[in-house]
Amino acid sequence: MIKDYFFLALENLRHRGLRSWLTMLGIFIGIAAVVSLISLGNGLQETITGQFSSLSVDVLTIQNAGTGFGPPGSTAVKKLTEHDLKIIESVSGVKLAVPRLIRVVSVDYNKERQFKYITDIPEESDKMKFVYDSLGIGVEEGRLLNSNDKGKVVLGNDFLKDSFGKPIRVGSTLIINGEDFEVAGILEKASTFVVNGAILMLNDDIENLLDINSEIDLIVAQVDDKDEINNVAEEIELRLRKDRNEKIGEEDFSVQTPIQSLESVNSILTIINMIVIGIAAVSLLVGGLGL
């Protein structure tokens, strides 16, 4: 029986050679694509998981619900404020609470305009040190910002590329949202593309530049004892929920531990992998049917 099938296959190849060979080629390409996509997805997941695992295990992130991966505060129901910051600072077990701004600005240089992420650096020495320690990278050129560096910025490593048609170096002047800022330093290559393409600016400068009063995009809270991080997170949720008069499950904010952040990213990556593999599998099936 198997021998008959073998000769039948050879006969089909002889009579419909081109179509048969193209079908086989499609199957081989489909198999290779599925294997490659699975490997790529697993590699991406391991890389991102490794990056999250290297983050501090004593840090909570508080932000508006629905913020997602876009600029925090852009789609929020209710923005975080200085009032929320004071509530978080008053929670027992919170060592330090740092408000952060992350926005998108226009950058003009060498007669070219691009849009980049910009984030603030607090002027307070303890909060500034915390942010720099969180970044975990040094400077490749120049230096980091000091509390008196008004009108200056530090750039991610991607700015060293000739993306504006002309190299940007320490001392160069960028026009950010219509105002001039001098480059004080350029960071070393980071493991995340967001940091590599970001602009760091003192908090007072970014608030004046973007006319921000008391808005906060996210708050990063460091706890005294990492073993108590879940209890501290629950207390922050309780205080904010009570202050906003919200019921459990109806919060317009989120408090995430490092483990929860990692689980969220893994869930998203798993869905992406399933979609991509599903598309590749359909392509393989179509090729196998010779359609």
Return averaged pLDDT per consecutive 10 residues of the chain, 291 residues in all. Answer: 62 61 68 68 58 68 68 57 94 95 95 94 95 88 95 94 86 96 94 86 96 90 92 94 88 83 63 69 62 49
Residue 193: per-residue pLDDT: 75
Residue 252: per-residue pLDDT: 85
256 domain residue, yes or no = yes
Residue 68: per-residue pLDDT: 46
216 domain residue, yes or no = yes
Contact (CB, 8 A) for 120 and 127: no
Contact (CB, 8 A) for 95 and 225: no
184 domain residue, yes or no = yes
The domain total for the chain is: 1
Chain-centre distance for alpha carbon 286? 36
Residue 274: per-residue pLDDT: 73
282 domain residue, yes or no = no
270 domain residue, yes or no = no
219 domain residue, yes or no = yes
6 domain residue, yes or no = no
Residue 73: per-residue pLDDT: 45
Does the pTM surpass 0.75? The reply is: no
Residue 167: per-residue pLDDT: 87
CA distance 160 to 170: 10
275 domain residue, yes or no = no
For residue 240, give its domain range: 57-262
The two structure tokens encoding residue 47: 């890389």
Residue 157: per-residue pLDDT: 92
